[in-house]
Amino acid sequence: MRKLSLIFSIIFIPLLPGYLFAAAKTHTVSLGSVRKAVYMPAESAPAANVSGAVFRIRPLIIDGRVKEWTTGDAHDVTERSFTVRRAVRINDSLPGETVQRWTWQSGAWLLIDRLTGHITLLHLPNYDAIVSEVVWFRDYAAYCGVSNTAKTLYAIVARAGVAKAIVQKEIAHMPADDLNQALCAAAVWERSPIRVTFNPSGHDAMSFEISGTTASVLEEAPDNDE
């Protein structure tokens, strides 16, 4: 009987589904070389294409394919996850124009998992692409944000992947025209204790201590080859 069981096992094992032996799929994630593009705010005249500011962009390449365009420096959140700001090329042509007019814009922040190749669009509370200069520490983002009505400026501390802000402190009510420019210097982080200081233009500095030291980013299990 034991011999029959052994023979059956030898015959049966090769017939098992391949997914039971599949190894985790390996993805390659990288940022390509920097390229120069012309940045032109949407409200600029067509002639601004010639004299527009230089906008540095880099492709986000996953498994040899360009998945997104990015701008600025990347920030490592964990050993396998990093954030980087998205760059978007927008069609700025008016209805009836025969020649298409394109402009590059800074967009939202992305969270990329190097192991799975998964890209997450981060919805940072009250984030404004023009006003908000995000400074990262671990998985915390500190920046000045703008209310949905574009009338109130806030000091914001948020965490990657968390919808609600940890800190949302009103700084001032601002005229709409003033919200088209940077109104805060870059926030300054300290480690022990974790503290961040905001320096809004024309207002007193404000500091906040942040509790919690564990990264809140949820890292998914890698995909398996089928």
Model confidence pLDDT, tens digit, residues 53-69? 678 999 999 999 999 99
How far is 71 from 88, CA to CA, in rounded Å? 9
Tokens standing for residue 165: 């802000």
Is it the case that residue 38 has pLDDT exceeding 80?
no
Is it the case that residue 205 has pLDDT exceeding 50?
yes
Is it the case that residue 98 has pLDDT exceeding 60?
yes
- Residue 3: pLDDT band (50, 70, 90) is low
For residue 112, which of 142, 74, 140 has the smallest C-alpha distance? 74
* Per-residue model confidence (pLDDT) at position 213: 46
Q: Is 112 exposed, middle or buried (0-12, 13-18, 19+ CB in 10 A)?
A: buried
> Percent of the chain at pLDDT above 90?
45
Place of tokens 């709409």: 176
* Per-residue model confidence (pLDDT) at position 224: 57
Q: Which residues pair with 87 in a beta bridge?
A: 69, 106
124-182 pLDDT per residue, tens: 999 988 889 999 999 999 999 988 776 889 999 999 988 889 999 999 887 656 555 56
Q: Which residue has the higher pLDDT, 147 or 39?
A: 147
* Phi and psi angles of residue 110, each rounded to the nearest 5 degrees, phi first: -115, 145
Q: Which residue has the higher pLDDT, 3 or 172?
A: 172
- Strand ranges across the sheet with 167-173: 135-137, 140-146, 152-159, 167-173
